Amino acid sequence: MLFFPENLLVRIPALLVAISFHEYAHARMAYAWGDHTAKYQGRLTLNPLAHLDPIGLLMLLIVRFGWARPVPINPLNFRDRRKGLFWVSLAGPGMNLLVGLVSTFLLFILRGSGPLAGAILENLVIYNVFLAVFNIIPLPPLDGSKILTSLLPGRYLYFYRAVEPYGPFLLILLLVFGLLPVFLIPVSYVIIDLYRSLVLLFMGS
């Protein structure tokens, strides 16, 4: 997750909402597919304290890259392992896109309600969209890798499994050499602009 806003007063609430809804969506979808692991470990909640990783949060504040506690799942409990893995993995980014869209509507509806509320909503849009786009990158341990493995046919899945252990190192290299924003920023702002266009169209502005 990349870090853009500088004001802690507006970025922390937005960040906590984005992380909490993302992890809750994973837990809720896993529960719906028959896996109760997350529920038993107290992760079926929107309480940010259940999802925060102290080191990940500290890294986020210091170096602007961090992480939350992954929601524990057991695909063997799913009614259909491949379909369950697909929908559980997609649920997190999908929820972030939904929250980003709702936040865009609220930003337009509540404009004029004060600079603080506007700034928090703006950052809700940014964080949720960026978190969604970041997580669909098909590199472990991101959600995109699990989405991809649930869709690949056997012969391609075998090849992907062979290179999968190197995914985290590739992700680190992308971060270290600053290549990740080349993909992340343009795609995210295309989505944000699309949200604004949809809101303007819906509101007749």
Residue 95 located in a structural domain: yes
Task: Give a yes or no: residue 28 inside a domain.
Answer: yes
Q: Rounded to whole angstroms, what are the CA distances from 38 to 20, 91, 174?
A: 14, 14, 31
Residue 190 in domain: yes
pTM (global) more than 0.85: yes
Sort residue 30 into left (φ over 0), alpha (ψ -120 to 50) or beta.
alpha
Q: What are the phi and psi torsion angles at 65 (to 5°)? A: -145, 125
50: DSSP letter: G
Residues 147 and 86 sit within 8 Å (Cβ to Cβ): yes
Return the active site residues.
23
Give which of 5, 2, 201 is closest to 104, Cα–Cα.
201
E-strand stretches of the chain: none
User: Is the model's pLDDT at 6 over the cut of 60?
Assistant: no
In a domain, 183, yes or no: yes
Residue 25 domain flag: yes
Predicted pLDDT of residue 5: 44
Count: domains in the chain: 1
The yes-or-no verdict on residue 79 having pLDDT over 70 is yes
Domain assignment of residue 188, yes or no: yes
DSSP element (H, E) containing 170 = helix 167-176
Q: What is the pLDDT of residues 91-132, one digit of tens each?
A: 999 999 999 999 999 999 988 677 788 899 999 999 999 999
On whether residue 3 sits in a domain, the answer given is: no
Question: Does the CA dihedral 188-44-147-142 come out positive or negative?
Answer: positive
More confident residue, 193 or 1: 193
Whether the pLDDT of residue 3 is over 50: the answer is no
Q: Is the peptide bond before 153 cis (omega within 30 degrees of 0)?
A: no
DSSP string, 119-143: HHHHHHHHHHHHHHHHHTSSSTTSH
CB 84 within 8 A of CB 35: yes
Domain assignment of residue 79, given as a range? 8-203
Residue range 7-50, pLDDT digits in tens: 777 888 888 999 999 999 999 999 999 999 999 999 999 999 99
In a domain, 2, yes or no: no
pLDDT tens for each residue of 150-180: 999 888 888 888 888 888 899 889 888 888 8
**What is the dihedral sign for C-alpha 178, 182, 185, 187?**
negative
